């Protein structure tokens, strides 16, 4: 009850803030995957002209989202009334003072039916970006159609929406009631898209950003890896155009986008190897995309370290098996799994494909094995969920320099303590 009262209070402060500051624009980002990368990409491009407020973490839940919008730090303790009184004072001050930003970019997450729609009871975004509809939290959603209804709800309570054409099936258009919608992606069927001209692992993609609003495309360089990493940049360009940035400003902003930690971040490993650090989380769509990106690299050896994908409910067995069937023995020297679901379902499917497979109970064991079989110049993909998988700790084992560890996800003292306790159980 106390938490609910706090939530209502915070949401009312958010409504009062936007009523007092009509000039401040709001962009919300929702979707099954890619929200944080998209949010940060949008912030990077908009910063070419506008003052931006964005929380770099995934503060997207009932209490954390209103606080992130207001630019107030999330408290360490939720039970101390004095802490909340201080937060309420800060919120009132934020409302009464002149706006210190031009645009707020807020991620809206959901792990059960109705959370995104609820955001529409206190938020009225200028733009909603919907990144994907794919299996997520299936123990709560039950079906992919429920996921689609949930994520697309943001498009319906926003003034305009920009939707990923590549990762949202057209049949879900039936859940849209907002006529003011544009699409983005990697093909010319979208109204905003990217055309690749060249790619190198060192410099990323060179190509053209195409927008329906412009007569000519602009040349850009995206220091990213993988098609699913390019799409957030395209979304960022689309949002920037909607908010009035020029072609020159959009191009400069796109050139500054880099990978977010734990999301297709390229790092240097021992033996002159290339590490693809995609350890923040994992889902069927994201894992599929990451694996295809690994296949595209021209290297002497490829290794896929695949952790269990959590929160898939009754679809877990089928989704892990499907990922295992995507493992190609002609492309991969090793498939290494971490976690029970991956060992039980993904590993046998990969073996049936003809892959060389090794399964481990935890990330530290997997990292040690990768170090053992790694060949010079190899590329290693690390892809897994956070709960009980923590593949960022496997990455540490083959990093070229320990100073690079700060670029990995979940490296705060509290996270390191939690992971130390977890690994000590083995």
Say if residue 139's pLDDT is above 90: no
pLDDT tens-digit map of 183-212 = 999 999 999 999 999 999 989 999 999 999
The per-residue pLDDT of the chain, averaged, comes to 95
The partner residues of 204 in beta bridges, in order of sequence, read: 200
Min mean pLDDT across 4-8, 97-101, 328-332, 377-381 is at: 4-8
Using alpha carbons, select from 186, 180, 191, 109 the residue that is nearest to residue 150.
109
Is residue 231 very low, low, confident or very high in pLDDT (cuts 50, 70, 90)? very high
For the chain, what percent of residues have pLDDT higher than 90? 89
Quote the pLDDT of residue 190: 97
* Architecture in CATH of 2-255: 3-Layer(aba) Sandwich (3.40)
Say if residue 76's pLDDT is above 90: no
Q: Superfamily for 265-423? A: Mur ligase, C-terminal domain (3.90.190.20)
Quote the pLDDT of residue 135: 85
β-pairing, 265-269 vs 273-278, is antiparallel
- 336 φ, ψ (degrees, to nearest 5): -115, 125
Q: Can you tell me the distance from the alpha carbon of 106 to that of 7, in angstroms, rounded to the nearest whole number?
A: 16
pLDDT tens-digit map of 334-366 = 999 999 999 999 999 999 999 999 999 999 999
Is residue 386 very low, low, confident or very high in pLDDT (cuts 50, 70, 90)? confident
Q: Where in the chain is the domain with CATH 3.90.190.20?
A: 265-423
Quote the pLDDT of residue 321: 98
Quote the pLDDT of residue 380: 98
The partner residues of 199 in beta bridges, in order of sequence, read: 205
Report, as an integer, the average pLDDT of 294-299. 97
Is residue 328 very low, low, confident or very high in pLDDT (cuts 50, 70, 90)? very high
Report, as an integer, the average pLDDT of 114-143. 93
State how far the alpha carbon of 88 is from the alpha carbons of 1, 100, 226, in Å. Answer: 18, 18, 43
Say if residue 228's pLDDT is above 80: yes
Q: Where in the chain is the domain with CATH 3.40.1190.10?
A: 2-255
Residue 300's Cβ-count burial label (10 Å; 0-12, 13-18, 19+) is: exposed
> Residue 175 has which token pair?
């859940």
Using alpha carbons, select from 41, 22, 15, 200 the residue that is nearest to residue 129.
41
Say if residue 313's pLDDT is above 90: no
Check the CA dihedral 378-379-385-390 and report its sign: positive
Is residue 2 very low, low, confident or very high in pLDDT (cuts 50, 70, 90)? confident
Q: Residues 41, 236: contact at Cβ < 8 Å?
A: yes
State how far the alpha carbon of 248 is from the alpha carbons of 217, 244, 255, 384, in Å. Answer: 11, 12, 11, 38
Is residue 285 very low, low, confident or very high in pLDDT (cuts 50, 70, 90)? very high
Using alpha carbons, select from 34, 15, 68, 12 the residue that is nearest to residue 283.
34
Say if residue 383's pLDDT is above 80: yes
Quote the pLDDT of residue 141: 87
Report, as an integer, the average pLDDT of 66-83. 89
The residues, ordered by sequence, that sit 6+ positions from 269 with a Cβ below 8 Å of its Cβ are 275, 374, 378, 380, 398, 399, 400
Using alpha carbons, select from 115, 124, 137 the residue that is nearest to residue 32.
137
Using alpha carbons, select from 389, 320, 388 the residue that is nearest to residue 357.
320
Q: Can you tell me the distance from the alpha carbon of 408 to that of 391, in angstroms, rounded to the nearest whole number?
A: 10
**pTM, entire model:** 0.94
């Amino acid at each position: 009850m106390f938490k609910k009262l706090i939530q209502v209070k915070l949401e009312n402060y958010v409504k009062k803030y936007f009523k007092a500051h009509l000039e401040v624009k709001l962009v919300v980002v929702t979707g099954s995957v890619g929200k944080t990368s998209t949010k940060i990409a949008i912030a990077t491009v908009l910063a070419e002209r506008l003052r931006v407020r964005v929380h770099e973490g995934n503060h997207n839940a009932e209490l954390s989202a209103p606080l992130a919008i207001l630019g107030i730090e999330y408290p360490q303790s939720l039970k101390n009334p004095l802490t909340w009184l201080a937060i309420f004072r800060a919120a009132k001050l934020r409302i009464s003072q002149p706006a210190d930003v031009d645009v707020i970019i807020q991620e809206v997450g959901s792990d059960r039916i109705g959370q995104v729609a609820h955001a529409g009871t206190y938020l009225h975004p200028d733009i909603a970006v919907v990144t994907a509809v794919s299996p997520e939290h299936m123990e709560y959603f039950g079906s992919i159609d429920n996921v689609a209804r949930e994520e697309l709800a943001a498009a319906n309570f926003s003034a305009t929406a920009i939707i990923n054409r590549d990762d949202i099936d057209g049949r879900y258009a039936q859940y849209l009631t907002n006529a003011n919608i544009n699409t983005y992606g990697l093909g010319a069927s979208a109204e905003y898209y990217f055309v690749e001209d060249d790619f190198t692992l060192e410099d990323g993609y060179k190509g053209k950003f195409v927008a329906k609003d412009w007569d000519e495309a602009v040349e850009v360089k995206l220091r990213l890896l993988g098609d699913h990493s390019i799409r957030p940049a395209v979304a960022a360009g689309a949002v920037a155009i909607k908010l009035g940035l020029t072609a020159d400003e959009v191009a400069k902003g796109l050139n500054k986008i880099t990978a977010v930690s734990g999301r297709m971040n390229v790092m240097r490993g021992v033996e002159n190897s290339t590490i693809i650090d995609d350890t923040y989380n994992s889902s069927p769509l994201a894992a599929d995309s990451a694996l295809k990106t690994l296949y595209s690299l021209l290297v002497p050896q490829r290794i896929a370290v695949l952790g269990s994908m959590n929160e898939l409910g009754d679809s877990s067995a089928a989704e892990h098996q499907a990922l295992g069937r995507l493992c190609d023995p002609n492309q991969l020297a090793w498939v290494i799994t971490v976690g029970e679901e991956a060992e039980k379902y993904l590993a046998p499917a990969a073996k049936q494909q003809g892959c060389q497979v090794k399964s481990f109970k935890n990330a530290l064991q997997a990292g040690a094995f990768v170090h053992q079989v790694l060949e010079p110049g190899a590329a290693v993909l690390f892809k897994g969920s956070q709960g009980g998988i923590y593949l960022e700790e496997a990455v540490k084992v083959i990093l070229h320099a320990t100073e690079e560890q700060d670029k990995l996800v979940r490296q705060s003292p509290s996270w390191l303590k939690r992971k130390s306790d977890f690994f000590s159980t083995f």
